[in-house]
Structure formats: structure tokens, C-alpha cells
Amino acid sequence: MRTAVSPLELLEPRTLPEALRMLRDRRPVTPLAGATDLYVGLNFGTLNGRRFLDLSRLEPLRAIRARGASLSIGALATYTDVIRSPLVRRRLPMLAAAAREVGGVQIQNRGTIGGNVANGSPAGDTLPVFAAAEATVVLRSAAGERRVAFAEFYTGYRKSVMRDDELIVALEVPPVPGKQWFRKVGTRLAQAISKVVIAAVRAPRSRIALGSVGPTVLRVPRTEEALAAGAPIAEARRLLQEEIRPIDDLRSTAAYRRRVAANLIARFWSETS
């Protein structure tokens, strides 16, 4: 471990209002949920910040429940909670599918949905699901609640509209019309960071979202429109190539990612027909 913990401070609120007050009054302070991203930084010596806010006692933020026609997933719900939730399996099976492919069991037991969204890695596996489901990010600060459409949440590579006095409290997902589909392509079956990840909904107006092929998760509106208008899949593949912006990095090359992304939409189209 490369970070000494002795200079670090942990605030341990027992209620959400208390947490939000600490977030407002004790800045800079970094929220800490399952720690599966933050503690990798701690071990690596790249952890930013000195003061942390433990969210783990905020039990109400763990709930997964129906809110009218919508599904509300508390920020502290873990991948295991999501996999086991009958409500998620019924209404948002692509999220359960994504959760099953995150890390190994140990990571699924600790990593949270709010942490995945807040962390904002372009390879975050739940991000394409929320993009394709047209979810709403529910934020809270001491000043009140703010609701942001998922499509407007990220502004760039690991950047979002979330302010430093706000927490994600839930993701709200309206009813999803059509058949849901999820695929992750990595180096191996488990514990691999995505090279390309896709979530899609087959409907008269299909929705397609991809991760790891741009600075943030991407919807591909021109490809979606072409498919809705009855274009052949070859045309959709071509448009998709224009809409995504993959890069070469440690895990893969841009050319490989383009190829895989194109193959994945073809697969989506044939498997959901």
C-alpha cells in the first residue's frame, strides 16, 4: 500500500441530512461508498484528497423500489443487490446482466451503482444501461434535490454536472419500451475492464448506447434513426463507425474497438429481431 492512512480523515454521518451538511461545510471532502474504485487509488498511491465521507451507514440509499411506473435504484445498491432484485430483473434485465459481468463476486458484493456512475469511467459497465434506459440521476445537496437526465449528466472525460456539495442519491428509470440487450467485450470473462460495452433497446425507435468508445458513454442517434427508418444493417454499421470516437489505450486499439462495436450492433439487431 502506497498511501499512509494516518493523515486521512473519515467523516461518518448517520443520516442523509447530516451527510449533506458535512458535504457543504467541510469541503473538500470525497464521498466513499464501496471503496472499490477509491481504495485501488489508496493502494496505488494515487488517491486524491485528505477528507472522506463514509456513505455506508445511509441505509435508505440502498433501497431498490418502484416509484409509480419508474424504478428507483438507490445509489448505495450493490451489484449483488441489483442481481438479486426481482424488480430489476423484471423491469431492467439489462442492468442485472451488466451487474453479473462486473468484477468477481467480491467486487459485486461491495461496488455500488452510485459509485459506478459518479466515478464516470468511460468503461463503467452500468453507464450504457442508464443511457439506453433514459434514466434520471437524482442528486441531493443541503439545498435540495436536483434531477438530471442521464444524457446531460456527463460533460467530458470523467466530468459531470454533479457539484462538490451534491451526492447521487438514486437513479430513476422510466418504463423501457422494447427488448433489452447487453454485451460486454473484455479480455476475459470475469474481472476485465470493458474494451467495448453496449446496452440497447429494440423498439420501433431503438436506442443504442456504448461505453469505452469515447470520452464518455455515447448514444448513437444517427445510427438509431437509420435503423428506425429501415436502413440495412450494413448502413447502420457504417454510421456507427462515424459516431463513435474510440482511442488506442492499454486495453485495446481504436481499430479493434470499431470492428467490435460494428459487430455488436449487427448481433443486437439479429438477436432481438
Partner 1 sequence: MKFTLNGKKVDVKAHPMARLLDVLREECGLTGTKEGCGEGECGACTVLVDGKPVVSCLVPFAQVRGAKVRTIEGVQDPLQKAFVTEGGAQCGICTPGMIMASLHLKSDAPPEEVRAALAGNLCRCTGYTAIYRSIRKRR
Ligand X SMILES: Cc1cc2nc3c(=O)[nH]c(=O)nc-3n(C[C@H](O)[C@H](O)[C@H](O)COP(=O)(O)OP(=O)(O)OC[C@H]3O[C@@H](n4cnc5c(N)ncnc54)[C@H](O)[C@@H]3O)c2cc1C
In the complex, which residues of this chain contact partner 1 (CB under 8 A)? 1, 5-6, 8, 10, 12, 32, 34-36, 39-40, 42-44, 52, 54, 56, 80, 103-107, 109-110, 189-191
- We find the least distance from the C-beta atom of residue 239 to ligand X, in angstroms, to be 26
Q: Which is nearer to partner 1, 39 or 245 (CB)?
A: 39
Report DSSP letters for 148-181, one per residue: EEGGGTEEETTEES--TT-EEEEEEEPPPPSEEE
Q: Alpha-carbon distance 257 to 149, whole Å?
A: 27
C-alpha cell at 160: 459531470
Our measurement of the distance from residue 242's CA atom to the centroid of its chain's CA atoms, rounded to an integer in Å, reads: 24
Q: Give the residue carrying C-alpha cell 452500468.
A: 126
* Partner interacting with residue 235 (select from partner 1, ligand X, none; CB below 5-8 Å by kind): none
Candidates 19, 23, 29, 31: give the one binding ligand X (CB under 6 A): 31
Contact status, residue 219 vs residue 207, Cβ threshold 8 Å: yes
* Partner interacting with residue 56 (select from partner 1, ligand X, none; CB below 5-8 Å by kind): partner 1
- We find the least distance from the C-beta atom of residue 137 to ligand X, in angstroms, to be 10
**Number of shown-chain residues binding ligand X (CB under 6 A):** 28
For residue 211, give the H/E element and its range. strand 207-211
Q: Under the criterion CB under 6 A, does residue 74 sit at the interface with ligand X?
A: no
* Partner interacting with residue 116 (select from ligand X, partner 1, none; CB below 5-8 Å by kind): ligand X
Question: In sequence order, what are the residues at sequence separation of 6 or more whose Cβ sits closer than 8 angstroms to the Cβ of residue 75?
Answer: 33, 55, 61, 112, 113, 114, 115, 117, 118, 167, 168, 169, 170, 171
For ligand X, the binding residues (CB under 6 A) are 30-38, 40, 55, 75, 102-103, 107, 110-112, 114-116, 118-119, 124-125, 167-168, 191
